[in-house]
C-alpha cells in the first residue's frame, strides 16, 4: 500500500516538531527516516500510525485520506525499540495475540491460528522457541518475535521505531541484514526510524534525512551519500572534516588552503564551508614547497601527525594543523583533521606520530552562504 504524507505540521506547545512535511512512499518500499535525536522522526511515524494527530496536513493510504480512520482500522503493524512483548505469555501466545483479539466474525479458527503462528515463527527462524517466555529470550530474539507478532495480522504497512536500538552492535548488524531479506520476501510497505546512518544506508531502498522538523533530503542510499543536498546531510552522513573560509569567483580560501570551486564562479567574497571526507585526503611527508601548486597556491595543509590508529586495513590519522603562533598541544578539538589511508600505505610510508605531514583534499564539497 502506498503512503502519501501531505504538508504535515505538528506543534507541541510552542515547539515545532514537524514543519510542513511532505513525502510519497511507494507500495512495497522500505524507507528509513534518519536524523538526530529530536528531529521529529518518531512524531511522524506516530502520525502515520494514527497514534498522534497532525495539526495540519493529511496522511493518505493508497490514495485514501486516513484522518478519520482509527488506528485499529489502519492495518498497521508496529515494532518498537523496547520489545513490547507480553511477559506472562509464551512466544506462541504473543504472536497469536493479534489474531485472537480480532472480532469474532474475522477471527481464524484455533487450527488456523496454530498454523499461522508456526508459519510466522518459521519466517523469523525461531519456531523452536514457541513455548518459551520473553524473559528466556535474548534481545535480538525478542525483536524478531515482536516482528512476527506485528506481521500476524497481515498489516498493509509496517512501522518500526528504532527496532534494533537497544541491541549490541553485532546483533544489530545481523538483524538489519535479516530485516532486509525478510522485506525482500514479503514486500510490506515499511517505514523504519533510526538515528544510525549506517543502518539506514544498509537497509533502506530510500533514506529520508530529517533535521529540526524538516525533510532535508530524500534519495537512495547511494544518492544521499554521493550528493548530500545540504551541509547538514554532509555532516550527518559519515565522518567529515569541515573547513571554514570565503569563496570568491570560483576560488575558495580556507585556513591555509585554496580550492577551485567552479560551481561557485559567481561568489563574491561570500562565507563558505568545505566538507572533506577522511578518505578523500591525500597524505604525504612534509618537505619545503610541499602542498603548493605551480602557481604558488596552497593546495595542502601542513599538519602534525598527533595520533595514528591502525586497525585492520585502515589507518586513521589525527592531524593538527601547524600554526606558527600556537603550540600544537593547545589545538582546539575542532581543528583536528582526520584522514584515512590504507594501512599498507601507512606502513610503507613509515609515518611516525609527531611527524610533520601535508594533507591535500582530493575531493571537497563546498557550500556557500548567500548573505556575505
Under DSSP, is residue 90 helix (H, G, I), strand (E, B) or coil? Answer: coil
Q: How many CB atoms lie within 10 A of CB 139?
A: 15
In the bound state with ligand ATP, the residue whose beta carbon lies nearer, of 162 and 338, is: 162
Minimal distance, residue 42 CB to ligand ATP, in Å: 3
Q: Is 207 in the site for ligand ATP (CB under 6 A)?
A: no
**Nearest 5°: CA angle at 237, between 83 and 185?**
50
Q: Is 42 in the site for ligand ATP (CB under 6 A)?
A: yes
Among 10-18, 56-64, 82-90, 280-288, which window interacts with ligand ATP (CB under 6 A)? 10-18
Minimal distance, residue 220 CB to ligand ATP, in Å: 22
In the bound state with ligand ATP, the residue whose beta carbon lies nearer, of 41 and 248, is: 41
Look at residues 339, 343, 206, 350 and name the one whose alpha carbon lies nearest to residue 283. Answer: 339
Residue with cell 493508497: 62
Minimal distance, residue 40 CB to ligand ATP, in Å: 4
Among 9-17, 70-78, 328-336, 357-365, which window interacts with ligand ATP (CB under 6 A)? 9-17
Dihedral class, residue 128 (left if φ above 0, else alpha if ψ from -120 to 50, else beta):
alpha
Mask 254-293, x = binds ligand ATP (CB under 6 A)?
----------------------------------------
In the bound state with ligand ATP, the residue whose beta carbon lies nearer, of 82 and 102, is: 82
Q: How far apart are CA 215 and CA 212, in angstroms?
A: 8
Contact by Cβ (8 Å): 123, 182 = yes
In the bound state with ligand ATP, the residue whose beta carbon lies nearer, of 126 and 208, is: 208
Mask 177-196, x = binds ligand ATP (CB under 6 A)?
------------------x-
- Site residue total, ligand ATP (CB under 6 A): 12
Q: Is 209 in the site for ligand ATP (CB under 6 A)?
A: no
Among 33-41, 68-76, 103-111, 320-328, which window interacts with ligand ATP (CB under 6 A)? 33-41
Q: Quick one: three-class SS letters along 41-70? A: HHHHHHHHHCCCCCCEEEEEECCEECCCCC
Under DSSP, is residue 270 helix (H, G, I), strand (E, B) or coil? Answer: strand
Q: Is 35 in the site for ligand ATP (CB under 6 A)?
A: yes
Q: Is 41 in the site for ligand ATP (CB under 6 A)?
A: yes
Residue with cell 486516513: 66
Q: Is 361 in the site for ligand ATP (CB under 6 A)?
A: no
CB-neighbour burial class of residue 199 (10 A; exposed 0-12, middle 13-18, buried 19+) = buried
Alpha helical stretches, state H, the chain: 41-49, 91-100, 110-123, 139-151, 169-186, 197-203, 221-226, 231-236, 343-349
Q: Is 39 in the site for ligand ATP (CB under 6 A)?
A: yes
Q: State which of residues 25, 32, 40, 116 lies at the interface with ligand ATP (CB under 6 A).
A: 40
User: Contact residues for ligand ATP (CB under 6 A)?
Assistant: 12, 15, 17, 35, 37-43, 195
Amino acid at each position: 500500500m502506498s503512503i502519501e504524507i501531505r504538508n504535515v505540521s505538528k506543534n507541541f506547545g510552542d515547539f515545532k516538531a514537524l514543519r510542513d512535511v511532505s513525502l510519497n512512499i511507494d507500495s512495497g518500499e522500505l524507507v528509513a527516516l534518519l536524523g538526530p535525536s529530536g528531529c521529529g522522526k518518531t512524531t511522524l511515524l506516530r502520525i502515520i500510525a494514527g497514534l498522534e494527530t497532525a495539526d495540519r496536513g493529511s496522511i493518505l493510504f493508497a490514495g485514501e485520506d486516513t484522518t478519520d480512520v482509527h488506528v485499529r482500522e489502519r492495518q498497521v503493524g508496529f515494532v518498537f525499540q523496547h520489545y513490547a512483548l507480553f511477559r506472562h505469555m509464551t512466544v506462541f501466545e504473543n504472536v497469536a495475540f493479534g489474531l485472537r483479539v480480532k472480532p469474532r466474525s474475522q477471527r481464524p479458527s484455533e487450527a488456523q491460528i496454530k498454523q499461522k503462528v508456526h508459519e510466522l515463527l518459521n519466517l523469523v527462524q525461531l519456531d523452536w522457541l514457541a513455548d518459551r517466555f520473553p524473559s528466556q529470550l535474548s534481545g535480538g530474539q525478542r525483536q524478531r518475535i515482536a516482528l512476527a507478532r506485528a506481521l500476524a495480522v497481515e498489516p498493509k504497512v509496517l512501522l518500526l521505531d528504532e527496532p534494533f536500538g537497544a541491541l549490541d552492535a553485532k546483533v544489530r548488524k545481523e538483524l538489519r541484514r535479516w530485516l532486509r531479506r525478510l522485506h525482500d520476501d514479503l514486500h510490506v510497505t515499511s517505514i523504519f526510524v533510526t538515528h544510525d546512518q549506517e543502518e539506514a544506508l544498509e537497509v533502506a531502498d530510500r533514506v529520508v534525512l530529517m533535521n529540526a522538523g524538516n525533510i532535508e533530503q530524500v534519495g537512495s542510499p547511494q544518492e544521499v551519500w554521493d550528493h548530500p543536498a545540504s551541509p547538514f546531510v554532509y555532516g550527518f552522513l559519515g565522518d567529515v572534516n569541515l573547513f571554514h573560509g570565503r569563496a570568491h569567483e570560483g576560488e575558495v580560501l580556507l585556513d591555509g588552503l585554496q580550492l577551485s570551486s567552479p560551481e561557485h564562479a559567481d561568489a563574491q567574497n561570500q562565507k563558505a564551508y568545505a566538507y572533506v571526507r577522511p578518505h578523500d585526503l591525500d597524505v604525504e611527508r612534509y618537505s619545503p614547497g610541499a602542498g603548493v601548486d605551480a602557481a604558488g597556491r596552497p593546495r595542502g595543509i601542513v599538519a602534525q601527525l598527533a595520533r595514528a590508529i591502525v586497525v585492520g586495513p585502515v589507518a586513521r590519522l589525527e592531524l593538527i594543523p601547524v600554526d606558527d603562533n600556537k603550540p600544537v598541544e593547545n589545538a582546539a578539538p575542532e581543528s583536528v583533521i582526520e584522514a584515512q589511508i590504507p594501512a599498507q600505505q601507512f606502513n610503507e610510508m613509515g609515518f611516525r606520530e609527531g611527524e610533520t605531514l601535508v594533507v591535500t583534499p582530493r575531493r571537497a564539497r563546498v557550500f556557500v552562504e548567500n548573505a556575505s
